[in-house]
Amino acid sequence: MADRTLRVCALFPDLMNIYADRGNLLLLQQRCAWRGIGFTLTGAGHGDEIDPDGHDLLYLGGGQDRDQQLVAEDLATHKRDAVHAHAARGGAILAVCGGYQLLGRSYELGEEEIPGVGLVDLHTVRHDGERLIGNVAIEVDLPPAGGIGGRRVLAGFENHGGRTHLGPAATPLGRVLKGHGNTGTSGHEGILHGHAVVGTYLHGPLLPKNVWFADWLVARALGIEEPLAALDDTLEDAAHASARRAAGV
């Protein structure tokens, strides 16, 4: 496995990085290093080209509405074709919170509608009512990669004003066990699309709290089917248990 390298590109890392997005990237880097998998990280900001064949994982982090307004146009026009081509050839995408909202068709903010990159069948509407905030746990059922898959619990934290409505062609990432999820009432959280396109409202240290999910993503991105080398996850398992306890699951 030593000759493998995970090539990550963070989209708009200066604007779409609310909460722990940088930490999620560091976690991927460290777990690759521990396993002898190479790791490269590049960023693509406004006006930058994305090489559709140059990355294994695109990362689009969280952002406030105003950050999303700043990046949406560039993402939906300049970067659109490359993001679609990347996903079509099986490249992985992790999009969190504000980034998740921009994976879809559009984000309605009152009178204004900002475009999404149109990769997945969803749209988001900013709600006047309460923000959906709190610890959250969802049950996912993932296709296998790296010896990981099946039914597992993802635990994290959500904080969003938008309500995300999945279209008929969309598969949610998981079933809400505790918390709000996509709309607060649908019972669904996130989206799972194609080979490895994941959108989720679970932000903050999503990957440090769910290292098995980080491993799944790496394996999926690199097309690794065989079990990944085991690591000492004593601390990481404790972090996961603590996140689940916080959500009451």
- CB-based contacts of 195: which residues, under 8 Å, 6+ apart? 87, 90, 91, 92, 220
Q: Is 40 in the site for ligand GLN (CB under 6 A)?
A: no
* Cα 176 from Cα 160, distance rounded (Å): 15
Residue with smaller CB distance to ligand GLN, 98 or 205? 98
* Cα 231 from Cα 200, distance rounded (Å): 26
Q: Is 98 in the site for ligand GLN (CB under 6 A)?
A: yes
Active-site residue, 97 included: yes
If phi > 0 it is left, if psi is from -120 to 50 it is alpha, else beta; for residue 179 that is left
* Cα 62 from Cα 200, distance rounded (Å): 10
Of the candidates 45, 21, 176, which has an alpha carbon nearest to the alpha carbon of residue 99? 21
Tell me whether residue 151 is annotated as binding. no
Q: Which of 104, 162, 172, 208 binds ligand GLN (CB under 6 A)?
A: 162
Q: Is 160 in the site for ligand GLN (CB under 6 A)?
A: yes
- Selected range binding ligand GLN among 5-13, 48-56, 57-65, 144-152, rule: CB under 6 A: 57-65
Q: Is 64 in the site for ligand GLN (CB under 6 A)?
A: yes
Annotated catalytic sites, by residue? 97, 203
Could you tell me which residues are annotated as the binding site for substrate? 131
Q: Which residues bind ligand GLN (CB under 6 A)?
A: 18, 62-65, 68, 97-98, 159-162, 203
